[in-house]
Amino acid sequence: MMFQRLAGALCAGGMIVLAHVTPVQATEEKTVTNGEATIAYSVRGEGPLVLVIASTGRGTSEFGPLADRLVQRGYRVALPEPRGIGGSRGPMENVTFHDFAKDFSKVIEAEGGKAVVAGHAYGQWIAKTIASDHPGMTKGVVLLAGGAKKWPQELSDAITMINDPASSREQKLAGLRLAFFAEGNDPTSWLEGWYEDVTKSQRAARKLTNQSDWWAGGTAPMLDLQAGSDPFRPESSRQEVKDEFGDRVTVAVIPNASHALPAEKPVETADAIADWADKLPK
């Protein structure tokens, strides 16, 4: 299940001294189909399945450290790419959350039929849609840095600006610090990895989907995993989800992180997911 990479060795007097050994999780690359769509995904580890969905206009490559930690905690992790990223292809106009949810449900079906579904930011809406449309496949839903019911328009404008290839490096860094990264955390890794066409498709899909179809996330248990410094989720909104959906919601907060929570704090995020998932009915 786990391989090791030798980063350096010194041979002296017949003795080999390991200078650095890094654990690397074996990863398989797979595809599934959903009608006209082909969804590419990676999977690693053994155990109960956790499927992680990326945020607006981004892919899953940044989830590697998060996934590796979940594998160490005894989980199998699937990272599906949304349509338009990597090997994932399919119609991107006149589609809804239900289409995206079905894409990822095919991954769950291929990997055993049931999963904890974790969605980052925009991805939490698709996670809820999976739980609503495919309740038999959903052991639980994790809202990773899910936004409050309302947030300032300037935050959405920052996402638009960061996606725009015409924006300067300085503009993008300012937007990342405003909307995604807490003070003291380095945002430079997120200067790349944005897909403007994917963002447009995902935003259009939101407008074409009735909120009442997915908002409740079915009846699955939910972990509302918040970032302590997330402008999309101010402290005044900490109990919003629990107040609405009651005892099936567990609230947890990770400090010193913002809307890019899984990238800023991958180990802490993975441990919070695993601690909660360990307690779900088998």
| Better-predicted residue by pLDDT, 104 or 15 | 104
Give the helix/strand (H/E) hosting 244: helix 240-245
List, for residues 120-161, the tens digit of each pLDDT value: 999 999 999 999 999 999 999 999 999 998 888 999 999 999
Give the helix/strand (H/E) hosting 80: strand 76-80
Number of H-type helices and E-type strands within the chain: 9, 10
Does residue 64 surpass a pLDDT of 80?
Answer: yes
Amino acid letter, residue 216: A
What does the mean pLDDT of the chain come to? 90
The pLDDT, as a whole number, for residue 152 is 86
Does residue 8 surpass a pLDDT of 80?
Answer: no
Closest to 231 in 3D by CA, of 257, 195, 262: 257
The pLDDT, as a whole number, for residue 24 is 57
The pLDDT, as a whole number, for residue 18 is 33
Rounded mean pLDDT of 45-51?
A: 97
The pLDDT, as a whole number, for residue 246 is 96
Q: Rounded to whole angstroms, how far apart are CA atoms 89 and 41?
A: 12
List, for residues 196-229, the tens digit of each pLDDT value: 999 999 999 999 999 999 999 999 999 999 999 9
Look up residue 282 and give its two tokens: 């088998």
| Better-predicted residue by pLDDT, 13 or 222 | 222
Q: Read off the pLDDT band of 281 (50, 70, 90).
A: confident
Letter string b/e over residues 173-197, b meaning 16 or more CB atoms within 10 A of that residue's CB: bbbbebbbbbeebebeebeeebbee
For the chain, which residues make up each domain, given as ranges? 28-278
Q: Rounded to whole angstroms, how far apart are CA atoms 136 and 139?
A: 8
CA-to-CA dists, residue 194 to 7, 144, 159, 172, 190, angstroms: 31, 19, 10, 11, 8
pTM, 2 dp: 0.89
| Better-predicted residue by pLDDT, 65 or 15 | 65
Per CATH, the number for 28-278 is 3.40.50.1820
Contact 162, 194 (CB under 8 A): yes
Q: Read off the pLDDT band of 163 (50, 70, 90).
A: confident
Contact 40, 31 (CB under 8 A): yes
The pLDDT, as a whole number, for residue 2 is 37
The pLDDT, as a whole number, for residue 254 is 97
The pLDDT, as a whole number, for residue 270 is 98
